[in-house]
Amino acid sequence: MKNIRNSSLQDLEALFKEWGESKFRAKQVYEWIWQKHVGDFSQMTNLSKALRDKLSEQFTIPKVRVHHSQFSSDGTIKNRLQLHDGHFVESVLIPTEKRMTVCVSSQVGCSLACKFCATGFLPRKRNMDFDEIVDEVTLANEQSLQHYGKPVTNIVFMGMGEPLLNYKNVLKAIDKITSPDCLGMSPRRITVSTAGISKMIRQLGDDGVRFKLALSLHAANDTKRDKIMPINETSNLDELVDALNYFYQKTKNEITFEYILFKNFNDSAKDADELVKLYRRVPVDLVNIIEYNTIDKADFTKPDDDVTESFMRYLESKRVNARLRRSRGKDIDAACGQLANVDHEVSQ
């Protein structure tokens, strides 16, 4: 049976015409799917039982469900989400005074094998479908309203997987999330983070996207970046600089650098100076300096506080717009780089 969420409103209208049903019935079904987020045709109570039965004979609504949730002492909520085929991904709801941010995944596992990231040690099983990504957001939105009385205000594609290697589904999900017939969120409140796929960054520019872009940088020279991010061997820093400038020229959208500090690796005065030089080659709005969160399979640790402070002071002295991003949800392995639920089939 077909996933009905792959059908446009026009597809449904054409089908209902074949069935001898009124055109407005298609709109009712579409609203149940995308505005009310139902997962069963029996819940579409303003349709006749005969029509509901006919739909259920030909279509499915393969909704993502929350397998379980973990609650951090700082208010962060991590969700283990089960997909229709038994795979798992994780998403994180991060509450602050001004924002309710959901960090979403775009792939089951990841193929980039970054040496500091827990997800990088998992094989990539498959791309997530666009409707599964939408479900991540709508589930987080329901959770945010339930626990905090506020809707989700921001979305960051910084969970499991590389968004630009699932390009079509990520853009289709964002198109749906920002559509008035779904959540109607502003694309300016959405940030897509990439490890650096220069060809696809250029494609974002050609497609005229309206969301923000973040580059997971983590080292400002190719020798060091090659060691921790194998993708740099095929998209080096010069290529990324060119691609980011092209993206900005085409869209004028905000660009952020993400830079995790690793003790005795990328936290020296020389590293800070290289970061400043790279910053000046791209119209970067902000540099997020991120605390490293340890994982079992990697040998990296975070620098001492005085080293971090010295690094930040140097950036500020060079007029770099930098912010130290404190980790949230560390006590439930929900912080940056820690998402890595082992994927397995659910036992029956």
Assess whether 114 carries a catalytic annotation.
Answer: no
Q: Which fold has domain 8-60?
A: DNA polymerase; domain 1 (1.10.150)
The residue annotated as part of the active site, out of 21, 90, 132, 162, is 90
Distance CA 267, CA 246 (A): 29
**H or E element at residue 305:** helix 305-317
State the DSSP string of 12-48: HHHHHHHTT--HHHHHHHHHHHHTS--S-GGG-TTS-
Q: Give the pLDDT confidence score for residue 89 in this predicted structure.
A: 96
Considering the chain, tell me which residue range(s) the CATH 3.20.20.70 domain(s) occupy: 65-332
Assess whether 90 carries a catalytic annotation.
Answer: yes
Q: Give the pLDDT confidence score for residue 247 in this predicted structure.
A: 98
pTM, entire model: 0.92
**H or E element at residue 313:** helix 305-317
Query: How confident is the chain (348 residues) per 10-residue block, as mean pLDDT?
Result: 96 97 96 96 96 97 95 92 95 94 96 88 93 98 96 96 98 98 96 98 98 98 97 97 98 97 96 98 97 82 95 98 79 51 38
Q: Give the pLDDT confidence score for residue 337 in this predicted structure.
A: 47
Q: Give the pLDDT confidence score for residue 119 in this predicted structure.
A: 81
Q: Give the pLDDT confidence score for residue 343 in this predicted structure.
A: 42
The residue annotated as part of the active site, out of 110, 117, 182, 336, is 336
Q: Which fold has domain 65-332?
A: TIM Barrel (3.20.20)
Considering the chain, tell me which residue range(s) the CATH 1.10.150.530 domain(s) occupy: 8-60
State the DSSP string of 161-176: S-GGGGHHHHHHHHHH
